[in-house]
Chain A
């Protein structure tokens, strides 16, 4: 019952989502290999090797793998697939881009965004923006699974480092696409998907200046990440990578503070598993109050500065 975990990393460091997906993988079976596909990625590989419960780290390095574009990454995983009966990845934008390609080439149905491992072939996954939970059993010879990491704790450090094994790469798939540039948001805050506290803003923030001026001071004091609703992102108040929801990031921090967010089902899908939810909204009927542990009916432009100065 060997499992191949396709790691999320940026060559220099391993994403915490990989450590969380490892916890899910370990619930499927004991023999987990982590695949680091990249270029100059020895640092990410040694971080993976340090995690508890890893059998081997496979390090595949090539120019075409530097950014883990779908076509070469999928070709690489496919070449390793015969040794595994489960192929798993965190449901990051990279995992979601690559794994369905692998599944199709293996002629199997991927199980997307799993939130619970019931058994080696049976999984729970949300459908309809999390308004229903499907329990599905895979009848395919190889299981291809992406994991919604919010509900899994990150695997800790192991007692001894796992071996790092170099694997052969080919240039399969490399001609189809090429990397041009990353336009990544500059951000010195905690990552949304691993933050303990998130301060999130909606359409009510009104402009990108106000979004920053009102939310950032509170987030700074709390050491929190900043999130946003789709309306705030569509209006240009916040970059796309801050979107929380059905089609954005799924988060489950200890504390989620929703400011001027109405609570549409697509937004709730991304945050309703937070431990404590606080809602600040002028409309006492806003649906966000139905999921909030603590609600304040009022103007966020008054409440947030007051909160900031009381912290």
Chain B
């Protein structure tokens, strides 16, 4: 069975982004970019399945600009076997990403697609569910454990009240939550090896998909800032302030 892992190139999670003064978006020039952290977890899970003999090949795919090749090389260095870049200059919305991924699924016929639960730039949390719907497949979202069986998989999901275990028919879509695993770091020899692994480049037209936006971004605003607070010296002073000044106790 092949496992497909979609990986997105995003602003690194340690970067504190800035809103452009003219409200047209977020400043992305000279900002450190990395693989979406949830996608690292997804890649790790796929590689572990191959190492356990449950998957034959791990294919990483990214929709993005030419620089998303670096993200794919990271996936290859972690252990993915080959990669596909679908080039798109501007940010592509989850619905269009899902349509492109559907095209890749139809061409590659994987038994499982593992995505991140959420991209930390758009915070949409949609793409996996959309891909699942477009394919008419089952979905196990926000997974903190995944066990593959014959023709089905058991997924433990992180839900609002705790955990939920479900069984889903294969082929399936799984989206990775934080506790699914701890992704490995790529070793230097593996980074070197990754440079020679196959990486093919496609365009949205190859899949007959147009990536025109559906949501118009009217503007991007700075969030409301909090007024600076004070330090208090003692518990007694804190309680006094909470009661008399803040009125919350």
Q: Which A residues form the contact surface with B (CB < 8 A)?
A: 67, 69-71, 74, 92-94, 96-105, 107-113, 122, 124-140, 175-185, 193, 197, 222, 230, 233-234, 239-241, 246-247, 249, 254-255, 265-266, 272, 275-278, 284, 289-297, 303, 306-307, 310-311
Contacts and interface: CB of A to CB of B under 8 A. Distances in A.
28 contacts: A94-B160, A96-B141, A104-B129, A104-B130, A105-B133, A112-B124, A124-B221, A128-B26, A130-B223, A133-B222, A136-B215, A137-B218, A138-B215, A140-B214, A175-B169, A176-B138, A180-B165, A230-B178, A233-B179, A241-B162, A247-B120, A247-B177, A255-B248, A293-B229, A294-B238, A294-B241, A295-B230, A310-B239
A234 B139 CA distance: 24
B161 A101 contact: no
Contact of A136 (B121, B218, B223): B218
Given A130-B223, A240-B144, A294-B229, A101 B129 contact: yes
Contacts of B95: 103-104, 107-110
Nearest to B131: A104
Contact of B242 (A104, A133, A294): A294
Nearest to B228: A290
Contacts of B218: 122, 135-137
Q: How large is the interface on B (under 10, 10 to 19, 20 to 34, 35 or more residues)?
A: 35 or more
A197 to B, nearest CB: 7
Nearest to B167: A178
A254 B215 CA distance: 34
Contacts of B223: 126, 130-133
A127 B161 CA distance: 25
A272 to B, nearest CB: 7
B229 A113 contact: no
A277 to B, nearest CB: 7
A197 B246 CA distance: 13
Chain A residues touching B, majority SS: mixed
Chain B residues touching A, majority SS: mixed
A92 B133 contact: no
Interface in B95-111: 95, 98
A21 B60 CA distance: 37
B13 interface: yes
A307 B126 contact: no
B188 interface: no
B242 A255 contact: yes
Contacts of B191: none
B242 A278 contact: yes
Nearest to B239: A310
B138 to A, nearest CB: 4
A180 B214 contact: no
A101 B132 contact: yes
Nearest to A272: B226
A98 B127 CA distance: 12
B130 A240 contact: no
A131 B218 CA distance: 17
A93 B162 contact: no
B217 A246 contact: no
A250 to B, nearest CB: 11
A76 B132 CA distance: 16
B219 interface: yes
Given A136-B216, A182-B161, A247-B178, A177 B133 contact: no
A290 B222 CA distance: 17
A112 B123 contact: yes
A103 B160 CA distance: 22
A96 B117 CA distance: 10
What 3 pairs between A and B have smallest CB-CB spacing? A100-B129, A104-B130, A176-B138
Interface in B194-246: 213-223, 226, 228-236, 238-239, 241-242, 246
